[in-house]
Amino acid sequence: MKKKYCIAVTGLNAIDSPGPGIPVIRGIRDSLLFDSRIIGFAYESLEPGIYMHDVVDKTYQIPYPSSGTDSLLERLNYIHSVEKIDIIIPNFDAELYSFIKLEKTLNSMGIKLFLPTMEQFEERHKVNLPAFGKKYGIKVPFSREIFNISDIFGLTRDFTYPIVVKGKYYDAYIAYSAEQAQAYFNKIAAKWGLPIVIQEFIKGTEYNVTGLGDGKGNTIAAVAMRKQYITDKGKAWGGITIEDNDLLGITHNFLSKTKWRGGFELEMMKSSKNEYYLLEINPRIPAWIYLAVGAGQNIPEALVRLALGEEVEPYKAYTIGKMFIRYSWDMIVDIDEFQKISTVGEL
């Protein structure tokens, strides 16, 4: 008989910048190696995954990352006392700091995670990316951080427009003038705080790689895709798996040198000179992860097994030419369910 695990997953939102939670759960549900009871962790009452009862067995609200680790641990203690959680898979950059900090404590409670180390998490931050690229031999666009909107007028010393204006966690916009850069500065700072990252604009074609490192320098999984449809926020709304040895070579080099532990996404730009530039490293599974599952590499399943301490054989290949096309779907939800999650914090 297959073992059954209680697996908690965050990232149940599905806005224009969707969370990875639902596709991660789909990959877990597809596993033929184990069964699972899925617990959703939500921050807001309107996250669609809360109401997808055929996908998520039960949902609990948890405190925002800004509330600190003590509040999170208190809430997790209660949920664990009810559900006996085996594994937690966090899927947002902003929450990873708290979960990494609590990993040893959660392990002592019997809850497993498979996350980057704090050092790995910190050194791949957008503000640290130039130093990261230099250290590991990866080309990255020139960038700098700014803390004051007045700094924008001095950017022409180091940059030519257009430039990319980025938040420290999420959001990126292309600014073609100082006035546009100011508007994006205010928009991002109001949402994600400071600093704001200004990055050199590289014109080219966008590619992404998602994968899984075992923490020892080995590549357990790696799937490359080319974005086919991109939203105004730069999010892939459609993509296709590709074969590109140069791109996968950069990925293997990244994993080998950093000994990355856990899921990741590399956001890459291929310039007109056919050179790859690393734009960002997202330290978790991306929202398009189900494309990797469909192409033959079930990364969520492999991550669960690594978290449990199992030996996982690396995937050797994936199907080229598999596509994903994202779409919206209106769910009809009872107001009683919305009121329950809003007041009690459970559904």
What's the pLDDT score for residue 5? 98
- Give the domains, in start order, of the chain with CATH numbers: 4-114+330-343 (3.40.50.20), 142-200 (3.30.1490.20)
pTM for the full model?
Answer: 0.92
What's the pLDDT score for residue 329? 87
C-alpha closest to that of 304 among 7, 3, 4, 1: 7
- Residues present in the chain in total: 347
What's the pLDDT score for residue 212? 98
Within 8 A by CB and 6+ apart from 336, the residues are: none
Both structure tokens of 192: 């994600």
Q: For 160, how many CA atoms within 13 A lie in the half-sphere containing its CB?
A: 2
What's the pLDDT score for residue 27? 98
Per-residue pLDDT tens listing for the chain (347 residues): 889 999 999 999 987 778 999 999 999 999 999 999 999 999 999 999 999 999 999 999 999 999 999 999 999 999 999 999 999 999 999 999 999 999 999 999 999 999 999 999 999 988 889 999 999 999 999 999 999 999 999 999 999 999 999 988 778 899 999 999 999 999 999 988 899 999 999 999 999 999 999 999 999 999 999 998 877 767 788 999 999 999 999 999 999 999 999 999 999 999 989 999 999 999 999 999 999 999 999 999 999 999 999 999 999 999 999 999 998 889 999 999 999 999 999 99
Both structure tokens of 226: 């080319």
Calculate ∠ Cα 19-237-177, nearest 5°.
Answer: 95
For strand 323-325 and strand 143-146, is the pairing parallel, antiparallel, or unpaired?
unpaired
ω into residue 162 within 30 of 0, thus cis?
A: yes
Query: How far is Cα 210 from Cα 264, in angstroms, rounded to an integer?
Result: 6
SS3 61: strand
